Amino acid sequence: MGAVLCTVIILIAAPLWAEEDEAELAKKLANPVASLISVPIQANYDENYGPNEDGSVWRINIQPVIPFSLNEKWNLISRTILPVIDQSDVPVVGMGESGIGDILQSLFFSPKEPTPRGLIWGVGPVILLPTASDDVLGGEKWGIGPTAVGLRQVGPWTYGALINHVESFAGDDDRSYISSTFIQPFLTYITKTKTTFALNTESTYDWNSEQWSVPINLTVAQLLKIGPQIIQIGGGVRYWADSPDNGPQDWGARIQLTFLFPR
């Protein structure tokens, strides 16, 4: 009788454990410095480029996140952004290019536990690598600078900001010096069904041209399990509140797919 009772309890509890694990995974995905291996693939579509607003760009960002345990108290979180770009009628009508852009590599040193007040944070270097397959898809400059992230997770809510600043230090002398600041405040809400609603901006300020790029993104994503693979799939819209001369205007779209590899 005892064995039968134990079996029944395990069968009932197993789905609950799975639900709890999936809820924790959704929460970790909202945390840029969580100890979770993931591979987000993010496709952004923007249009109205150029003097006549005829151009459009697809930018697919492959963004593997890999955590490393340094000791009992600290993690090192590697976040890479590899852009794959397809642009039409950019910078002018009749021109276009497809290929790989410059890689942005961030490394965050982050405590494994939040502060007593619940602050989760990480700091480290950010490195710009001139990996573009064509000179129009990248800056042909090496860059480096600081990056930092801070956030809190309270119930279903996550809010915080990620920032970095990049200055070029080497590369093609004929290309413009790079000096840019990136600011990404974010807010997410996760439902009991592991649906994530997210609002953020991905603002970049170019100190050379003194111009802002400010897309505002609103997305919805769902955590799913297909066979043994856990994924998060979603999408949304983006609005360009500000952009540089000949940059994107008005509305765009985002599609995202993330592969999770919990340990």
Look at the pTM and tell me if it is higher than 0.85.
yes
Specify the pLDDT at position 152: 97
Count CA atoms closer than 13 A to 6's CA, side-chain side: 3
Query: Helix, strand or coil for residue 191?
Result: coil
- How confident is the model over 104-117, as a mean pLDDT? 96
Q: How deeply is 235 buried, as exposed, middle or buried, from its count of CB atoms within 10 A (0-12, 13-18, 19+)?
A: middle
Between 55 and 30, name the one with better pLDDT: 30
Number of domains, the chain: 1
Kindly state the tokens that stand for 241: 């509140």
Domain coverage including residue 183: 2-261
Confidence band (pLDDT; 50, 70, 90) for 263? confident
Specify the pLDDT at position 23: 79
The answer, yes or no, to whether the previous bond of 248 is cis (omega within 30 of 0) is: no
Specify the pLDDT at position 5: 40
Specify the pLDDT at position 92: 64
- How distant, in Å, are the alpha carbons of 19, 81, 223 from that of 196? 15, 22, 8
pLDDT digits (tens, 9 = 90+) for 198-227: 999 999 999 999 999 999 999 999 999 999
Specify the pLDDT at position 131: 96
Amino acid 37 reads I
pLDDT digits (tens, 9 = 90+) for 8-48: 333 333 343 344 477 788 999 999 999 999 999 999 999 98
Question: 181: domain CATH number?
Answer: 2.40.160.40
Cα gap 34→46, rounded to integer Å = 30
